[in-house]
Amino acid sequence: MDKVITRFPPSPTGYLHVGGARTAVFNWLYARHMKGQFILRIEDTDTKRSTQESVDAIFEALEWLGIDWDEGPYFQSKRFHIYREYIQKLLDSGQAYYCTCSPEKVEDMRKKGMAASGKPKYDGTCREKNLSKTDNAVIRFKAQVNGTTVLEDVIKGNIVFQNQELDDFIIARSDGTPTYNFVVVVDDITMGINTVIRGDDHVMNTPKQIMLYKALGSQLPTFGHVPMVLGKDRTRLSKRHGAMSVTAYRDMGYLPDAFLNYLVRLGWSYGDQEFFTRNELIEKFTLENIGRSPGVFDQDKLLALNADHIKAKPPNKLVKHLLPFLKERDYEIQDSAFLESVIETLNKRSKTLVEMADAASFYFEDTIIYEEKAVKKFLKTSSLEPLKLLIKQLEALEQFNEANLENAFKTVMESTGLKLGKIAQPVRAALTGKTASPGIFEIIEVLGKDRVISRLKKAVKFIEDNAKD
């Protein structure tokens, strides 16, 4: 088999969304699995709606997902000379012709066709006239009128189209700009694309494209049309289902590997396995395992999968992902080893990086703000004795490790007759300002002796000042 060459051809008329991102991922994974090539092509022939901002946003989303490309990005807007050459080939071979029918006349033909056969078609008025180029002429492809065109689809199976239901479609407008179906075929031929994986909203375009491949004497690529992504209510995915841009999920604190994993599972399966590393996906991804049923986008499942990926990733690998969220909160991170220790206390209980950054705040704040609930439950006069005793024990420690910390707490428990929880909860409130946090010994070790003792003393003063009031 020839080396597999796939492509992703977004239109830069907006941000990259879930459906487009999944198409990109499927093509990229298949190319990587087959040790082939993945090409990025920007389909920007719609000059009115295409923007540089959208191009940049697409690049940003793909780079965040970790999707790299072997060739490109190619821009259709810079390839018009190639399209003109291929249009001329079809004109010269008699497989395309000039048409001077006005838009009004064509619309009338379509209405008549709709009334007669339920198919709005151009009726071929100019097909055999041998017209020359004029200012108002379009160029139409001379489509097959008899027989069938068969789409051999590796996902959907064979789909048969009756050629008589198709018409002579336009391949170049009167201003010379080529049309979508034509440029896609020329691009795929000239770029050597031999595997086309795309959404099944393109199925109806495919018979036209197959005819163009044959007219240009080119071998057909392998086609695979992927079912659409639906919302939980089984309707087309929209913003109300969570169909935001890919970078919006990045900003919400999702890991790229988790989002990639979830996108792949929207329509592809490997047994009952849900969690995949990037390398596992590359190893296991095949077209045969893409299902025929639409994928259903479920934000709760995505969130759960993200939590699993955060939990599974070593703290040192999470540092670069968490840093932007800490910087947003104006936390200056000088020591990556300290940050790794912080992450280790939080990664088992964080569903997103936003949650983790919020939960990490007490590690970086100079002044701890006590939650009202923490004050009422734990920072009260009955906590003064155990807190003061613990401060003395901690000040005497030469090594601030878990074993010594446990002994310090045991000494306070023996002195006061209190159970661990009655001591640990006021300590937690003093160190974090909250009623819930990672394990108390973990926190103390990460914060270090000086900051722990300082915070405990501030809590003691806070309780004493409150008692005076």
DSSP assignment string, 377-446: HTSSGGGHHHHHHHHHHHHT-SS--HHHHHHHHHHHHHHH---HHHHHHHHHHHHHSSS--S-HHHHHHH
Cα→Cα distances 425→110, 379, 385, 386, 445, Å: 77, 9, 14, 11, 16
Catalytic residue among 35, 48, 239, 468: 239
Phi-psi region at 124: left, alpha or beta (left = phi > 0; alpha = psi -120 to 50): left
* Residue-wise burial string across 7-33, b where 16 or more C-beta atoms lie within 10 A, e elsewhere: bbbbbbebbbbbbbbbbbbbbbbbbbb
Domain(s) of CATH 1.10.10.350: residues in the chain: 365-468
pLDDT of residue 113: 84
Question: pLDDT at position 449, please?
Answer: 96
Interhelix angle 52-65/256-265, rounded to 10 degrees, is: 90
pLDDT score of 236: 77
On whether the CB atoms of residues 200 and 172 are closer than 8 A, the answer is no
pTM: 0.92
Sequence ranges of the chain with CATH classification 3.40.50.620? 5-77+228-306, 79-226
Tell me the C-alpha distance between 156 and 242, whole Å.
27
Which DSSP helix (H) or strand (E) runs through 132? none
pLDDT score at 447? 95
Running DSSP on this structure, what letter comes out for residue 274?
-
> Is 79-226 assigned to CATH 3.40.50.300?
no
Q: What is the pLDDT of residue 1?
A: 59
239 catalytically annotated: yes
d(CA 91, CA 134): 14
CATH top class, domain 365-468: mainly alpha
CA distance 300 to 294: 18
Given this model, what pLDDT does residue 244 score? 79
Give CATH superfamily name and number for 5-77+228-306.
HUPs (3.40.50.620)
pLDDT for res 25: 98
Q: What per-residue confidence (pLDDT) applies to 132?
A: 95
Residue-level pLDDT, tens digit, the chain, 469 residues: 589 999 999 999 999 999 999 999 999 999 999 999 999 999 998 888 999 999 999 999 999 999 999 999 999 999 999 999 999 999 999 999 999 999 999 999 999 888 887 788 899 999 999 999 999 999 999 999 999 999 999 999 999 999 998 999 999 999 999 999 999 999 999 999 999 999 999 999 999 999 999 999 999 999 999 999 988 887 777 666 656 799 999 999 999 999 999 999 999 999 999 999 999 999 999 999 999 999 999 999 999 999 999 999 999 999 999 999 999 999 988 889 999 999 999 999 999 999 999 999 999 998 999 999 999 999 999 999 999 999 999 999 988 888 999 999 999 999 999 999 999 999 999 999 999 999 999 999 999 999 999 999 999 999 999 887 6
Cα–Cα distance between 336 and 334 in angstroms, integer?
Answer: 7
The predicted pLDDT at position 241 comes to: 60
Whether the CA torsion 177, 183, 186, 190 is positive or negative: it is positive
Using alpha carbons only, how large is the chain's radius of gyration in Å? 32
Q: How far apart are CA 207 and CA 190, in angstroms?
A: 19
